[in-house]
Structure 1
Amino acid sequence: MERDGRRLSTVELTAGAFTLLAGRDGDPWAQAARAAGKETGVPVTAVTLGSDLEVRVAEGCWEDVAGLTEGGALLVRPDGQVAWRCAGTGADHGRRMERVLRRILDR
């Protein structure tokens, strides 16, 4: 992965915060994760990989390794463990992300 011309790892990208990593067509998941973070009071950093120049990745490479389609996403806990994964686009992103985050936080 690359940000601002600098190579970085997923560990660097997700360190210390709840972070949603979405495939290049996963912006609905990213928006839903940010909103769920606000609703629960737990900030969630959300990055749509490869859809814009924020974080560039080799085409298809990241999704293949993560076991996702371009519309999928995964949520990483602050300790670096994957807490949740949706391989595809899914439905009702907002409600689903809030439910996932509340379940992880036990709230």
Structure 2
Amino acid sequence: MTGLFGYVCPSGAFVREPGEERPLFEDPAVPSGRPGTRAPHVRLSRAGAPVSTRDLFGTGFTVLAGAEGGAWEKAAAEAARSLRVPVETHVVGAEAGLGDPAGRFPVAYGITSTGAVLVRPDGIVAWRSPGEAGLVELEAALRTVLG
């Protein structure tokens, strides 16, 4: 059912946020980026060419960090090594790499420029840290998702 636009997973392999309500659908035109929802499409740019956030997901987990979230790259590499799972990291809106020409990425994913989200291989948001966090929190989220 994750292929339905606006579908919200009622439970499963993601970290619920404290005190949140779990409606079964949200308006796909106004995505929340909450854990348990499909990762929102945001048009980015790479080397001048358009790319969607959804094009960044592969066969492993993906961490998408805000423009000032470079520390997430190291945290994701350490968590991947520790748990022996593939984790790819992208910093969105930083000087080099992925641009965010419309500035939509942080709002669509509910994070700040220092925050990050963890996306499962199927494109479902597994966890997010609206602001700065680190290895301990990311590793704990991966352990929860992996069961």
- The structure showing larger relative contact order (alpha-carbon pairs under 8 Å, at least 6 residues apart) is 1
Length-normalised TM-score, structure 2: 0.66
Aligned residues: 104
CA distance in structure 1 between the partners assigned to 2:101 and 2:48 by the alignment: 14
Does structure 1 retain, via aligned residues, the 8 Å contact 2:45–2:101? no
1:45 has 2:79 as partner: no
Match of 1:75 in 2: 118
1:86 has 2:129 as partner: yes
Deviations, residues 62-89 of structure 1 (Å, cap 9, x unaligned): 1012111111100000000000011111
CA distance in structure 2 between the partners assigned to 1:59 and 1:86 by the alignment: 22
Which ranges in structure 1 are unaligned for 5 or more consecutive residues? none
CA distance in structure 1 between the partners assigned to 2:51 and 2:45 by the alignment: 6
Pairing partner for 2:142 from 96, 101, 106: 101
CA distance in structure 2 between the partners assigned to 1:52 and 1:39 by the alignment: 29
The more displaced of 8-17 and 19-28 is 8-17
CA distance in structure 2 between the partners assigned to 1:28 and 1:79 by the alignment: 25
- In our comparison, the structure showing a higher alpha carbon Rg is 2
Length-normalised TM-score, structure 1: 0.88
Give the aligned residue type for 1:56: G
- What is the Cα deviation at residue 102 of structure 1? 1.3
Give the aligned residue type for 1:22: A
CA RMSD of aligned residues (A): 1.4
